[in-house]
Structure 1
Amino acid sequence: MYNYYFILASQNFLLHEEPVEEILRERIAYYQRVNKKIDFWLVLNPKFIDIAQPNLNKLSLKNSYAAIVSLDKSFIQWLKLRISFVIVGKFFSESIFLPIT
């Protein structure tokens, strides 16, 4: 069983109002330096909202959402501190998360 942790926000906020591209680029560079496999994904309009936490399915379906999903809980906690005004959650899966692109 895999534990996934995520932050969720509107696509506009996460992709245009916050420096997410720079944050993820720096994280990738760090992972390459320490020879660690990438364990996070940027997902647009994630389908896991319905299964993640009951309070998330109250979100408006008219809006477009984006999520950063990771196997690393501390990375998501750090992102929450770095990027305010996001929803933090988790979900479980029996298989490795493969975002649909």
Structure 2
Amino acid sequence: MPLFWLGGQVIWALFVAAVAIHAALVASHVANQTLALTTTSSPAVANTAYVVSGFAGGATASALAGTAFSHVGWGGVSAVAAVWLALGWGSTAIRR
């Protein structure tokens, strides 16, 4: 059973799940930035592109999720997340 399902009733489960998600996010950023910075001759430009695209994508997804929540609820937020993931996976598959 995922820890977030217990979150409303068991606060420690919510805390553990939040810490686990944060750790995974940090690990993915470290891995992605390491790859981006070691495969280019101008790491400053690569780092700038990585950070700007991360913030722009996050801001866009947050705006879309907020609008989806106000119109449809959590199902809309889940749909935005699914589309966002599909776009990311699709763009990666095309580049390979």
Give the structure-2-normalised TM-score. 0.32
Structure 1 or 2: more strand by fraction: 1
Q: Which structure has the greater CA radius of gyration?
A: 2
More helix by share: 2
Q: Higher relative CO (CA 8 A, sep ≥ 6), structure 1 or 2?
A: 1
TM-score (norm 1): 0.30
